[in-house]
Amino acid sequence: MDTFNAMVLSKENNEPKLEVKQLTQNDLPEGEVTIRVAYSSVNYKDGAVAVQQQFVESYPLIPGIDLAGTVIDSSDDRYQAGDEVIVTSYQLGTGHSGGFSEVARVPAEWVVPLPEGLSLREAMVLGTAGFTAALSVQRLEDNDLEPGQGPVLVAGATGGVGSLAVDMLAKRGYEVVASTGKANEEAYLKAIGAKEIVHRDTIVDTEETPLLAEKWAGAVDPVGGETLQYIFKTLKFGGSVATSGLAGGVGVSTTVIPAIARGINWLGINSVDYPMNKRLNVWERLSDELKPTNLDEELVNEISLEELPQVLEDILEGKVRGRTIVKL
């Protein structure tokens, strides 16, 4: 491809500009592996980069923290033209041009071979959101969560991390309670595996007491803030919460009482810096026993590069349901 299309974020006279441009490979950053991108996806962080210019290390930048495609050219022996690969995390789409482009060039250290059992499209329905949901489930189970211990709460359940966590947990036999602010998405959440739906307003911390009645054997929380405060107070004895996000707030006020009276575990999830040797294992699991059952139409909205700017705004406002993938 001599020329190709990409969504470029630039700054002129201190004014950010996001537009589809025609580029050549000379416009791409250095890296050993050049990839014809088949799909990218839209994550909350992409909205923060493209709309709010958070995390951006230099301009111009092609945003897009996820990509999946076919290697065109590689100067690293581990990859050959024709190999199907996934790239997420590290500085992709923040400090290094990313997936909102028909062609990308990345360091070989960031590349994950597409596992058997996943298509390129499915890999991007998962993307960073699916990887993060899988890490959350893995950390909860590493800390003794098992089906049959009681309900598992998923906050922000119609979002990317939330939807994929609901699906994965339900497939593994957990009783999933999904919390959402979208009153009209009950049917969707039930279709992807939730047993019960609660409104997000009912799981925020409004009480002064350090503990409330024990409810959850575990929780997946991409929301944070007062939702996380409420989860600390309502986890059952020995229960764990996997914290990945801040869609509902950064500040968390708590006491030590849930930790010492109920022995709860606060598990932090960092998908970006997760080590490559363990990362490969998580992708293998995602292609097999952690693979969600609704990676086709139920969870997915497919868009073009031209439709991206609106979705990037919408995701920051919590308006997006499930996963949006970008076909390139």
Ligand X SMILES: NC(=O)c1ccc[n+]([C@@H]2O[C@H](COP(=O)([O-])OP(=O)(O)OC[C@H]3O[C@@H](n4cnc5c(N)ncnc54)[C@H](OP(=O)(O)O)[C@@H]3O)[C@@H](O)[C@H]2O)c1
Residues binding ligand X (CB under 6 A)? 43-45, 128-129, 132, 156-162, 180-182, 200, 222-223, 244-248, 269-272, 315, 318, 320
Contacts of 247 (CB under 8 A, 6+ apart): 44, 156, 159, 222, 223, 224, 318
Question: Between 44 and 174, whose beta carbon lies closer to ligand X?
Answer: 44
In whole angstroms, what is the distance from residue 250 CA to residue 254 CA? 13
Q: Which two tokens stand for residue 169?
A: 């947990």
Please report how close the Cβ of residue 43 comes to ligand X at its closest, in angstroms. 4
Q: Using CB atoms within 10 Å of the CB of residue 296, give its burial: 0 to 12 exposed, 13 to 18 middle, 19+ buried.
A: exposed
Phi first, then psi: what are they for 105, rounded to 5°?
-130, 125
Question: Between 73 and 298, whose beta carbon lies closer to ligand X?
Answer: 298
Please report how close the Cβ of residue 328 comes to ligand X at its closest, in angstroms. 19
Q: Using CB atoms within 10 Å of the CB of residue 119, give its burial: 0 to 12 exposed, 13 to 18 middle, 19+ buried.
A: middle
- Three-class SS string for 33-76? EEEEEEEEEECHHHHHHHHHCCCCCCCCECCCCEEEEEEEEECC
Please report how close the Cβ of residue 156 comes to ligand X at its closest, in angstroms. 3
Please report how close the Cβ of residue 161 comes to ligand X at its closest, in angstroms. 4
Question: Between 34 and 132, whose beta carbon lies closer to ligand X?
Answer: 132
CB closest to ligand X, residue no = 159
Please report how close the Cβ of residue 274 comes to ligand X at its closest, in angstroms. 8
In whole angstroms, what is the distance from residue 207 CA to residue 211 CA? 9
Question: Between 31 and 318, whose beta carbon lies closer to ligand X?
Answer: 318
Give the residue from 180, 181, 157 showing the smallest Cα distance to 169. 157
Please report how close the Cβ of residue 103 comes to ligand X at its closest, in angstroms. 25
Please report how close the Cβ of residue 6 comes to ligand X at its closest, in angstroms. 21
Question: Between 239 and 322, whose beta carbon lies closer to ligand X?
Answer: 322
In whole angstroms, what is the distance from residue 46 CA to residue 312 CA? 7
Question: Between 183 and 260, whose beta carbon lies closer to ligand X?
Answer: 183
Question: Between 4 and 216, whose beta carbon lies closer to ligand X?
Answer: 216
